């Protein structure tokens, strides 16, 4: 089944609600943006401070494990976007389709993974999933990844985890950087940044332009992936006096994005047996802008206050022009806007209890010709509370308990309460054990509820279902991290997600489908996703790091017993990175191996009888490699690099639409 962006038309004013919470003074004096991350094996690093586990700065002693991908690993990946950065990280899986690139965590789909930028939601999800190619790599300082249900802190969409993308700020009196790169498929990357730190003021300007040609993975005259042009600019201003309890952050960005391709649909051949095709030129133009204003006040006596106001605006125009047709192009405009306000207060109480509470409000506005009323609005109000209790801290022995819950009130679905309890035990310095139980939920999106969209160029129609109920999940996770040697770390994770009322698309009788398939959404009974992951990271010799991982995932529909569509039960990852400090040479390679992946195509006839056709994609690998040289006589300010993405040219024209092999090269300069 194919999904398409729905059509909205009118910009509605974005309203803001109000919020309240508790924070901690012990960590409040170290802002999240002061984070210094180790180079880290595989570009992952256990950071001294992270912000994603509990919406506040937290040390590595926190009971919730957060993975961090640092700026050096981002540059080393050679990626254009957040999707490319995450694509070959061990234990993560980027799923590519006509809807873009989305992240799958522990067998949970992209619609169950909440994507944030600087802790704030982003509008403009496609098929209820966020396309990570919309976040350019040049704007990213680090990426924090939290796996497992986190609705007790973040609410809806965080059933499977949270990805928080932290934007770049200035940390030097003057810093300049520029990068130019080119490669096959006319891949072109031009990026630049200018930053300064003067007294309490920090200013960072970042801009970039990226292009890639369209590609085709089969023999039909259409394109499998459209040509992409992305232009973006971002400004980040901070005021952080050293002696003052106050700090202020203002960030604003804008992105223009154009995706153009050709849709093809086979027609009956001529009487001479000549193939015929209906070709439709398609272009999708989007404009995205975000504004964030956040202020903090930290005092050891009264705790820390944080107030943030954010708006995310998304405009979309989809144009379809059938070749050879007399009628004008069909243009469908759309808009999706989110406004959020949050007020937080936190404090360390009694030396061992870090209390947090918060009130958060948001409004989302959607308008479309394909929505019956032309527009729709949703309001949400949430209260969350949390207590992180350091029960034992004697020598190397540490025992921490985290308990919290969040109440969400949705204007469409009423109230939902989602608790979480997490434990961390360090019996010795070299061993950390974590476990957590949590509940999560995902409210149906506007598109699933109200969309009525027909795409005659491809031949399908999607009808929303206003009777949908929220999905819910009960999640359990257990982690073990061992450090037997300074140069060696081992990890193991077990997870289980029991999901009720999972929303899936189903075929409907084909009457009225203009010759194509008709789909809608329903809540199915229940599914279970469980499995485990083991990993090893090592520094066998100076300058060389090695990371290995293996993940087993068993995602089942509890009614039919079959594996959920689009999942691999087995996957493995390997990352190598080597740098020679004297010569300035650096080499990195990442590989992920995916076992057989199952897909199911469902079709209904006019009587409503459903036929299920299974497909199996055999084992495939995704391999990227990059080599760089920091030129010695430029004091390492100039770096030359070459690389290859999708070295083995893995892809499937229907189900796994990977971009074909790209070889690229370029240079980067810094001051």
Beta-carbon count within 10 A of 558 CB: 14
Q: Count CA atoms within 13 Å of residue 121 on its CB side.
A: 23
Q: Domain coordinates of the chain in residue numbers? A: 25-670
The whole-angstrom separation of Cα 568 and Cα 275 is 36
Q: Does 610 score more than 90 pLDDT?
A: no
Residue 183 pLDDT level (bands cut at 50, 70, 90): very high
pLDDT at 22: 28
Residue 72 pLDDT level (bands cut at 50, 70, 90): confident
Under 8 Å between Cβ of 624 and 643: yes
pLDDT at 59: 59
Closest CA to 63 of 488, 537, 484, 479: 479
pLDDT at 127: 75
The whole-angstrom separation of Cα 238 and Cα 204 is 9
Q: Does 77 score more than 90 pLDDT?
A: no
Q: Does 20 score more than 80 pLDDT?
A: no
Average pLDDT over residues 157-172: 92
pLDDT tens-digit series, residues 81-90: 999 999 878 7
The whole-angstrom separation of Cα 207 and Cα 258 is 17
665 vs 658 pLDDT, higher one? 665
Residue 372 pLDDT level (bands cut at 50, 70, 90): low
pLDDT at 266: 83
Report percent pLDDT > 90 for the chain: 55
pLDDT tens-digit series, residues 272-284: 888 888 889 999 9
Q: Does 488 score more than 90 pLDDT?
A: yes
pLDDT tens-digit series, residues 427-460: 999 999 999 999 999 998 877 888 777 666 666 7
Give the range among 50-64, 338-352, 463-477, 645-659 with minimum mean pLDDT: 50-64
Q: Does 514 score more than 70 pLDDT?
A: no
458 vs 234 pLDDT, higher one? 234
pLDDT at 42: 42
Cα–chain-centroid distance for residue 561? Answer: 29
Task: State the DSSP code for 296.
Answer: E
Concatenated DSSP letters of 224-252: SB-EEEEEEEEEEEEE--SS-SEEEEEEE
Beta-carbon count within 10 A of 656 CB: 19
User: May I ask the CATH class of domain 25-670?
Assistant: mainly beta
Q: Does 62 score more than 90 pLDDT?
A: no
Q: Does 43 score more than 70 pLDDT?
A: no
What's the residue count for the chain? 671
pLDDT at 593: 93
Decide the pairing of beta strands 140-147 and 161-167: antiparallel
SS3 663: strand
pLDDT at 269: 86
Q: Does 32 score more than 70 pLDDT?
A: no
pLDDT at 96: 81
Under 8 Å between Cβ of 129 and 505: no
Q: Does 515 score more than 90 pLDDT?
A: no
pLDDT tens-digit series, residues 309-334: 999 999 999 898 888 877 877 888 88
pLDDT tens-digit series, residues 522-578: 888 789 999 999 999 999 999 999 999 999 999 998 888 888 888 889 999 999 999
Q: Where is 25: in which H helix or E strand?
A: helix 25-28
The whole-angstrom separation of Cα 616 and Cα 156 is 32
SS3 264: strand
Q: Count CA atoms within 13 Å of residue 352 on its CB side.
A: 10
Under 8 Å between Cβ of 441 and 412: no
pLDDT tens-digit series, residues 97-111: 777 889 999 889 899
Q: Which two tokens stand for residue 367?
A: 């308008």
pLDDT at 27: 28
Rounded to the nearest integer, the mean pLDDT of the chain is: 85
The whole-angstrom separation of Cα 555 and Cα 595 is 14
pLDDT tens-digit series, residues 615-629: 888 999 999 999 999
Residue 612 pLDDT level (bands cut at 50, 70, 90): confident
Under 8 Å between Cβ of 496 and 475: yes
Residue 196 pLDDT level (bands cut at 50, 70, 90): very high
pLDDT at 624: 94
Closest CA to 83 of 142, 139, 137: 137
Average pLDDT over residues 656-670: 93
Cβ-defined contacts of 411-420 (< 8 Å, 24+): 411/377, 411/378, 411/379, 411/380, 412/378, 412/443, 412/449, 413/443, 413/469, 413/470, 416/441, 416/470, 416/472, 418/149, 418/151, 418/152, 418/155, 419/152, 420/149, 420/150, 420/152, 420/153
Average pLDDT over residues 478-506: 93
Backbone angles phi, psi at 152, to 5 degrees: -65, -20
Average pLDDT over residues 260-265: 89
The whole-angstrom separation of Cα 98 and Cα 111 is 15
Beta-carbon count within 10 A of 588 CB: 23
Under 8 Å between Cβ of 284 and 277: no
Residue 115 pLDDT level (bands cut at 50, 70, 90): very high
pLDDT at 459: 66
């Amino acid at each position: 089944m194919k999904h398409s962006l729905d059509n909205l038309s009118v910009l509605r004013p974005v309203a803001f609600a109000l919020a309240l919470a508790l924070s901690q003074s012990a960590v409040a004096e170290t802002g999240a943006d002061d984070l210094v991350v180790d180079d880290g094996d595989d570009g992952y690093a256990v950071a001294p401070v992270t912000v994603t586990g509990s919406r506040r700065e937290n040390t590595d002693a926190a009971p919730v494990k957060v993975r961090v991908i640092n700026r050096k690993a981002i540059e080393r990946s050679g990626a254009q976007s957040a999707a490319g950065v995450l694509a070959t990280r061990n234990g993560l899986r980027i799923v590519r389709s006509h809807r873009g690139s989305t992240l799958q965590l522990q067998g949970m789909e992209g619609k169950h993974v909440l994507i944030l930028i600087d802790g704030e939601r982003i509008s403009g999800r496609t098929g209820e999933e966020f396309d990570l190619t919309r976040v350019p790599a040049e704007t990213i300082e680090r990426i924090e990844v939290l796996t497992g249900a986190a609705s007790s802190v973040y609410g809806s969409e965080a059933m499977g985890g949270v990805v928080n993308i932290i934007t770049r700020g200035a940390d030097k009196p003057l810093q300049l950087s520029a990068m130019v790169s080119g490669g096959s498929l006319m891949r072109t990357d031009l990026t630049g940044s200018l930053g300064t730190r003067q007294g309490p003021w920090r200013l960072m300007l970042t801009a970039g332009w990226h292009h890639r040609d369209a590609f085709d993975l089969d023999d039909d005259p259409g394109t499998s992936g459209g040509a992409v042009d992305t232009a973006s600019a971002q400004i980040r201003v901070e005021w952080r006096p050293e002696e003052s309890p106050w700090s202020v952050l203002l960030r604003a960005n804008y992105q223009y994005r154009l995706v153009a391709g050709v849709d093809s649909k086979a027609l009956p051949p001529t009487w001479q047996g000549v193939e015929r095709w209906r070709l439709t030129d398609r272009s999708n133009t989007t404009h995205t802008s975000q504004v964030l204003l956040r202020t903090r006040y930290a005092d050891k006596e009264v705790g820390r206050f944080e107030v943030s106001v954010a708006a995310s605006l998304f405009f979309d125009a989809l144009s379809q022009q059938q070749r050879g047709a007399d009628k004008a192009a069909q243009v469908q405009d759309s808009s999706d806007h989110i406004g959020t306000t949050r007020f937080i207060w936190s404090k360390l109480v009694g030396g061992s209890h870090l209390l947090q509470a918060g009130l958060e409000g948001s409004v989302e506005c959607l308008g479309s010709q394909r929505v019956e009323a032309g527009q729709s609005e949703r309001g949400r109000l949430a209260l969350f509370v949390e207590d992180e209790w350091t029960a034992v801290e004697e020598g190397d022995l540490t025992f921490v308990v985290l308990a919290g819950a969040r109440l969400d009130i949705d204007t469409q679905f009423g109230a939902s309460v989602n608790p979480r309890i997490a434990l961390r035990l360090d019996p010795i310095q070299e061993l950390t054990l974590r476990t957590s139980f949590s509940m999560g939920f995902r409210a149906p999106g506007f598109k699933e509820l109200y969309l009525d969209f027909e795409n005659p160029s491809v031949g399908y129609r999607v009808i929303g279902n206003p009777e949908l109920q929220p999905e819910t999940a009960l999640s359990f996770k257990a982690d073990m991290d061992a450090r037997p040697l300074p140069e060696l770390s081992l990890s193991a994770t077990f997870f289980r997600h029991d999901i009720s009322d999972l929303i899936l698309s189903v075929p409907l009788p084909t009457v009225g489908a203009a010759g194509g398939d008709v789909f809608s959404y329903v809540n199915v009974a229940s599914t279970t996703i469980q499995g485990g992951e083991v990993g090893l990271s090592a520094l066998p010799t100076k300058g060389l790091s090695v990371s290995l991982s293996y993940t087993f995932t068993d995602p089942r529909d509890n009614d039919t017993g079959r594996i959920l569509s689009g999942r691999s039960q087995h996957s493995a990852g390997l990352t190598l990175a080597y740098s020679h400090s004297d010569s300035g040479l650096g080499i990195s390679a990442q590989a992920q191996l995916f076992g057989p992946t199952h897909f199911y195509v469902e079709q209904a006839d006019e009587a409503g009888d459903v036929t299920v056709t299974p497909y199996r994609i055999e084992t495939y690998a995704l391999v990227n490699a990059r080599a760089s040289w920091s030129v010695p006589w430029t004091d390492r300010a100039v770096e030359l690099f070459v690389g290859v993405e999708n070295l083995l040219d893995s892809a499937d024209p229907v189900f796994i639409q990977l971009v074909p092999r790209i070889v690229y090269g370029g240079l980067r300069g810094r001051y």
